[in-house]
Chains A and B, each alone.
Chain A
Amino acid sequence: MRKLLSGIKKAFSPASDEQYWNQKAAELEYLSKSYKGEIVQDPALSSSSLQERAVAAVGHVDFESMLEGLEVDTSYVAISSVHIVLAVKYGLVGTLIGHLTNVNADKIEEILLKLHGYFKPGGKRSPLDYHTGAKHRYTFGHDLNVFGELPPGYTIGGKDVGGKSLYSLVLDYIKEGYPNCGPVVGHFKAVMHILTHLISDLPTKDGVPLPFTSIFTEWVENGDNVSGYSAKNPVMDFLGREFGTINAADVTAYAVIKVLVKSHHAIEFHKSVAEEGDRELILAQMYSVAYGASIAVQMFIMMVDPGSLNAKLNHMIAWPFLYNAGKSQLLLLRQHGEVLGDYERSLAQLESESARFEDWVNAQ
């Protein structure tokens, strides 16, 4: 019963790391002095625990001071509660900046459309917009699939544009609009036309679909449409705007979090002598916490206000979150493996009959 109550108590008020290691230091000090015969055992404490006997014999021992006394290198670093709190704050700041991006989406779009205008000869209709309708970006031209084609017989302005890849349509469009440009400049302008078009679509509610999702587009002849075709993309229908798109807010939230965490890390470890592996681990852990906080907020918004612009999965953050969480686990596993290897080597030396105990102590 006493053990059970003690267990429950520990579960609800676990000892802090510092307290735990100080207790271990006291036990070590006690055992060391007992071994050397510097402590006379008290028969009254014979049924007490090691910890109780240690406290009674040597009192409080500070673990850090003990390590310093033993000249053990204590320069290792680990993620602290301060790091975690700051990482959460960085995640929230990034999400807030994303929200502000959505609030100012129209102004941002206006600026980006001007940029697109430099690669849009005469302001003429872009081949990326040859297919129209609600959610038209989810079916053609807006997912970096430059090999995507419009169906055979598809016409624009009386001209057949069906069966040609998006890139060849854009290249023809650039050549027609800039007849004097050479092949290199032509390709450059074509690539820039596609990129600036996608960038200018980012601030809108629909954003742009995930890369290469248009390969699932199905075209169906439909005489009730002006284009003569209907298009649907079952993958995007399933994912929806919430899970299948990227918008400007996603990009700004990711960029802000990345810059804040990276800057914090650079400043904190500017002159640190901590090991590269430890620093790398803290960085990955802080990214995981910051990105995780941002994802959690957006998932919460999805539950309480599903129609909101912020109510979506941020792919720019979700994948780096998984990457950093996985990286943290692998780095921890590696460190754990190194510690176990050290233990094994140490134990092997201790068990070796040829080695003296003093040699083992000195080798630690």
Chain B
Amino acid sequence: MNMIDHADNPREEYHFESSMEFCSPEVVLSVEKKIRSSMSLTPEDSAQLKAIVELELMRYDFAHGQYDATCRKQMIQAVRNKLIKDFSREPFENGPVDKAFYKALNREYGYV
């Protein structure tokens, strides 16, 4: 998989589900910290945010690692299924948590 660093394409809005790019772990973790400090999160929200961060860090690893397509798919679905099993929630649902996360992440990269 040929992925580019989102820092090289900040004019496009980034989202895990629609971009073939990766974000820097430092930026992802910094955004997670901001969301946790600015929003009042329920246990479900917190688990969703954790799953999103996990997926983003995974993508960074995918872009720099040697995982094959099947392995990548299994790892992503494992994170998703765990969240569904534990909290009946999808990592991405256009809800307040994922919206706030990607708004902050894009802002961090200078997208208005």
Interface residues of A (CB under 8 A from B): 125, 129, 132-136, 156-158, 223-228, 230-231, 307
CB <8 Å contact, B19 and A134:
yes
How many angstroms from the CA of A135 to the CA of B102 in the assembled complex? 12
| Chain B nearest Cβ from A203, distance in angstroms | 14
CB <8 Å contact, B18 and A125:
no
CB <8 Å contact, A125 and B72:
no
How many angstroms from the CA of A224 to the CA of B93 in the assembled complex? 17
CB <8 Å contact, A129 and B76:
no
- Name the A residues within 8 Å of B18 (CB-CB): 132-136, 230-231
Max chain B Cβ within 10 angstroms of own Cβ: one of A135, A156, A226, A230: A226
| Chain B nearest Cβ from A72, distance in angstroms | 63
CB <8 Å contact, B15 and A132:
yes
Given the known inter-chain contacts A226-B92, A230-B18, please indicate yes or no for A135 contacting B76, CB distance below 8 A.
no
CB <8 Å contact, B62 and A135:
no
CB <8 Å contact, B17 and A132:
yes
- Name the A residues within 8 Å of B55 (CB-CB): 226
Given the known inter-chain contacts A132-B98, A307-B112, please indicate yes or no for A226 contacting B15, CB distance below 8 A.
no
CB <8 Å contact, A223 and B91:
no
Given the known inter-chain contacts A134-B14, A230-B18, please indicate yes or no for A224 contacting B112, CB distance below 8 A.
no
Question: Which chain A residue lies CB-closest to B18?
Answer: A133
CB <8 Å contact, A226 and B17:
yes
How many angstroms from the CA of A129 to the CA of B13 in the assembled complex? 18
- Name the A residues within 8 Å of B33 (CB-CB): none
- Name the A residues within 8 Å of B88 (CB-CB): 157
What is the size, in residues, of chain B's interface with A at 8 Å between Cβ atoms? 33
Judge whether B108 is part of the interface by a CB distance below 8 angstroms.
no
Given the known inter-chain contacts A133-B17, A133-B18, please indicate yes or no for A223 contacting B69, CB distance below 8 A.
yes
Given the known inter-chain contacts A224-B62, A307-B112, please indicate yes or no for A133 contacting B73, CB distance below 8 A.
no
Judge whether B50 is part of the interface by a CB distance below 8 angstroms.
no
Given the known inter-chain contacts A129-B93, A157-B90, A226-B80, please indicate yes or no for A136 contacting B17, CB distance below 8 A.
yes
How many angstroms from the CA of A82 to the CA of B15 in the assembled complex? 52
- Name the A residues within 8 Å of B27 (CB-CB): none
How many angstroms from the CA of A125 to the CA of B89 in the assembled complex? 10
Interface residues of B (CB under 8 A from A): 1, 12-20, 55, 59, 62, 69-70, 72-73, 76-77, 80-81, 84, 88-95, 98, 102, 112
Question: Which chain B residue lies CB-closest to A131?
Answer: B17
Q: Which of A134, A156, A226, A307 contacts B13 (CB 8 A)?
A: A134
- Name the A residues within 8 Å of B17 (CB-CB): 132-133, 136, 225-227, 230
- Name the A residues within 8 Å of B62 (CB-CB): 224
How many angstroms from the CA of A226 to the CA of B76 in the assembled complex? 6
Q: Which of A125, A135, A225, A228 contacts B94 (CB 8 A)?
A: A125
CB <8 Å contact, B90 and A156:
yes
Question: Which chain B residue lies CB-closest to A225?
Answer: B17
- Name the A residues within 8 Å of B15 (CB-CB): 132-134
How many angstroms from the CA of A156 to the CA of B77 in the assembled complex? 12
How many angstroms from the CA of A351 to the CA of B35 in the assembled complex? 90
| Chain A nearest Cβ from B39, distance in angstroms | 16
How many angstroms from the CA of A157 to the CA of B92 in the assembled complex? 11
- Name the A residues within 8 Å of B81 (CB-CB): 158
| Chain A nearest Cβ from B62, distance in angstroms | 7
| Chain A nearest Cβ from B70, distance in angstroms | 8
CB <8 Å contact, B94 and A136:
yes
Which 3 pairs from chain A and chain B are nearest by CB? A133-B18, A223-B73, A133-B17
| Chain A nearest Cβ from B20, distance in angstroms | 7
Given the known inter-chain contacts A134-B14, A224-B1, A225-B17, please indicate yes or no for A157 contacting B84, CB distance below 8 A.
yes
Question: Which chain A residue lies CB-closest to B94?
Answer: A129
- Name the A residues within 8 Å of B72 (CB-CB): 223-224
| Chain B nearest Cβ from A156, distance in angstroms | 7
Given the known inter-chain contacts A133-B16, A136-B17, please indicate yes or no for A223 contacting B90, CB distance below 8 A.
no
Q: Which of B12, B16, B19, B94 contacts A226 (CB 8 A)?
A: B16
Max chain B Cβ within 10 angstroms of own Cβ: one of A132, A136, A156, A223: A132
Using A223-B76, A230-B18, A307-B112 as known contacts, list a sample of 12 further A-B pairs with CB atoms less than 8 Å apart, ordered by residue number in A.
Answer: A125-B90, A125-B95, A129-B94, A133-B18, A134-B13, A134-B14, A134-B102, A136-B18, A224-B20, A224-B73, A224-B76, A231-B18
CB <8 Å contact, B92 and A133:
yes
Question: Which chain B residue lies CB-closest to A308?
Answer: B112
